[in-house]
Amino acid sequence: TAARAGGHGKFAFEPIDIATDFAVHVPEGYKSKVLVRWGDALWSEAEGAYDPETGVSVEMSDKVFGENTDGMELFEVDGKEVITVNSEYVNPKINLPAASEGIPQNADEVKLLKNLQGVTVMEIAKADEGYVVVKDSPLNRRITHETEMALEGPLAGHALVQTNADPEGKTVKGTMNNCGSGRTLWNTYLTCEENFNGYFGATGKMPEGEGYTRYGIGGEGRYAYEKFDPRYDISNEPNEPHRHGFVTEINPADPTSTPKKRTALGRFKHENASMVHAKDGRVVVYMGDDERGEYLYKFVSNGVWEEGTDGGDLLNDGTLYVAKFNDDLSGEWLALTPETTGMDAAEILCFTRMAASAAGGTTMDRPEWVASNPVKVESYCALTNNKNRGVKPNAGGDDTAVNGPNPRETNNYGQIVRWMPANENHADTAFTWDLYVMAGNPTVYENEYAGSSNVNAGNMFNSPDGMVFDSTGMLWIQTDGDYKNEGEFAGMGNNQMLVGDPETGEILRFMTVPYGAEVTGLCWSADKKVAFVGVQHPGGQWPDGAGKPRSSVVAVWREDGAVIG
């Protein structure tokens, strides 16, 4: 259409070159501007809370935008535009400049770090240029490591999730390591808990078993929480880690609502969630577990959903499957049941990784984002890379051998797999698959490390991670890879966002982010004229040009005001 004219083919832009600097670059005819930075006030009382030398004060730390922005979604609530955004983790050396080696030295410092992670819900509004955050909006909300939430689904109330503070096993504090995102068909937000293991530590005797080792739980916590808050000390609360690692549903329209941890979708290091409506009316959620040698999953609800209705607790009741990819480009979804896993229903949801191994899923090269094409019955998963195949990261004893969709021995570049469900029904257990792209470097290699035929010297990249389809069926790909621009990564530059055509395979570079940063999260304004893009852990002094680097969300739009998504 005329609104998408310019560029060539279905691409409404001329691709840009790589960059190695500390700036954001977009195509000619496009503009970009920071929407919100780590430490920016969400309420008037927190204005000025951010200090370029010391960061954010403890008192104001739950009234500002969190650090290290990740997955995000935009919702329309009573005619207002609301963005929900994850803050995946914190950089302690930036947040605690006075602390030794960035390790918290007291409970206040722990509180500061807890508050700067989690989820932000914020109203935004059109401005002269781009958008601004609406301070003091009644829809604004911060959800942190201390926010109360409900454990929902078959694992709720089970002995495995009971603790001293919550003997009923139904009320949990906090959602943590919120990585990628998803949205339900009924317009709620799905935040995905990834590396939750890193928040727990043992000050005394460490509980034993594969239930801990397979998830990397043990030793010292990443932020020393366990020294100042007994809830994070697994020698004191061995079941607390069993209450994290879920997909959590948040209603952005009601700031008083209780977030719901959906245990039926399994417990693992959730990257994101892609929900689709199956031909037979059930809802299907595709999910990746981001660790080397782990799996791709899907949840299929028992109940059906009708367009325009509230999904209620549809995500509490259904079947969890793990993907099995065959070398002949066929595949099947293996149901995780007591019969296929030798585990009971609660154990399957608490120790999902072990259930998937028992059922015979296909080990993958770090499954990051999953995305589903809105104009075709197919879904994609970014397999970001696998730097040490054969070196088993967990104690699970998984076979991480080369296999169909993971065909390269050492895989520093990554690939994107896609699958087409049988009978055009996402609830079907059979599918066919192919590789949409194998990233590589054709200027360094002539073998399989040169990448697939849709990779060339002008569009090369490594480590695909974020992936979102726009409304026209174009696939936006974000990278989180090696940005040193040397050796086998020479010519790739800083991390980037590209746009791919699923039909032709063509991929063009749309955006580059500052040196050091990865690109995380993408959503569009309600009129699809502005894209919001996450810039996580930038280097240098971006975007202020002085003081500390600040993770931020950037708005991107066309100067002629045309639709871009």
The residues of the shown chain that bind ligand FEO, judged by CB under 6 A, are 88, 179, 194, 271, 290, 368
For the beta sheet containing 270-277, the strands, ordered from the edge strand earlier in sequence to the opposite edge, are 270-277, 282-289, 296-304, 318-325, 330-335, 430-438, 415-421, 379-383, 367-372
Rounded to a whole number of angstroms, the minimum distance from the CB of residue 507 to Ca ion is 18
Coil/strand/helix, residue 237: coil
Residue nearer to ligand FEO on the CB measure, 31 or 387: 387
Number of other CB atoms surrounding residue 98 within 10 Å:
8
Interacting partner of 194 out of ligand FEO, Ca ion, none (Cβ under 5 to 8 A depending on kind): ligand FEO
Write out the H or E segment, with its range, that includes residue 213.
helix 210-213
Residue nearer to Ca ion on the CB measure, 357 or 479: 479
Q: Which stretch binds Ca ion (CB under 5 A): 9-17, 129-137, 368-376, 392-400?
A: 368-376
Rounded to a whole number of angstroms, the minimum distance from the CB of residue 518 to Ca ion is 5
Q: Does 294 bind Ca ion (CB under 5 A)?
A: no
Q: Which stretch binds Ca ion (CB under 5 A): 157-165, 276-284, 352-360, 475-483?
A: 475-483
Residue nearer to Ca ion on the CB measure, 90 or 336: 90
Residue nearer to ligand FEO on the CB measure, 201 or 288: 288
Contact 202, 233 (CB under 8 A): yes
Number of other CB atoms surrounding residue 373 within 10 Å:
17
In angstroms, the CA 506 to CA 492 distance is: 17
Among 237, 378, 465, 482, binds Ca ion (CB under 5 A): 465
Rounded to a whole number of angstroms, the minimum distance from the CB of residue 479 to ligand FEO is 12
Residue nearer to ligand FEO on the CB measure, 88 or 365: 88
Contact 281, 388 (CB under 8 A): no
Q: Does 67 bind Ca ion (CB under 5 A)?
A: no
Q: For 40-80, give the DSSP string.
A: -BSSGGGTT-EETTTEE-TTTTTSB--SSEEEEEEEEETTE
Distance of CA 563 to the CA centre of its chain: 25
Interacting partner of 73 out of ligand FEO, Ca ion, none (Cβ under 5 to 8 A depending on kind): none
Residue nearer to Ca ion on the CB measure, 12 or 287: 287
Cross-strand bridge partners of residue 125: 132
Q: Which stretch binds Ca ion (CB under 5 A): 214-222, 226-234, 363-371, 387-395?
A: 363-371
Query: Where does residue 200 rank: exposed (0-12), middle (13-18), buried (19+ CB within 10 A)?
Result: buried
Residue nearer to Ca ion on the CB measure, 73 or 465: 465
Rounded to a whole number of angstroms, the minimum distance from the CB of residue 367 to ligand FEO is 9
Rounded to a whole number of angstroms, the minimum distance from the CB of residue 199 to ligand FEO is 14
Rounded to a whole number of angstroms, the minimum distance from the CB of residue 271 to ligand FEO is 5
Q: Which two tokens stand for residue 367?
A: 């499954």
Rounded to a whole number of angstroms, the minimum distance from the CB of residue 326 to ligand FEO is 26
Interacting partner of 193 out of ligand FEO, Ca ion, none (Cβ under 5 to 8 A depending on kind): none
Contact 109, 168 (CB under 8 A): no
Among 480, 493, 514, 525, binds Ca ion (CB under 5 A): 480
Residue nearer to ligand FEO on the CB measure, 88 or 152: 88
Is residue 113 left, alpha or beta, with left meaning phi > 0 and alpha meaning psi from -120 to 50? alpha
Residue nearer to ligand FEO on the CB measure, 140 or 175: 175
* Beta pairing, strands 260-262 & 148-152: parallel
Interacting partner of 294 out of ligand FEO, Ca ion, none (Cβ under 5 to 8 A depending on kind): none
Rounded to a whole number of angstroms, the minimum distance from the CB of residue 368 to Ca ion is 5
Rounded to a whole number of angstroms, the minimum distance from the CB of residue 506 to ligand FEO is 26
In angstroms, the CA 126 to CA 131 distance is: 4
Question: How many binding residues for Ca ion (CB under 5 A)?
Answer: 3
Contacts of 221 (CB under 8 A, 6+ apart): 198, 199, 200, 201, 232
Q: Which two tokens stand for residue 23?
A: 């700036």
Q: Which two tokens stand for residue 363?
A: 């080990």
Interacting partner of 226 out of ligand FEO, Ca ion, none (Cβ under 5 to 8 A depending on kind): none
Binding positions for Ca ion, rule: CB under 5 A: 368, 465, 480
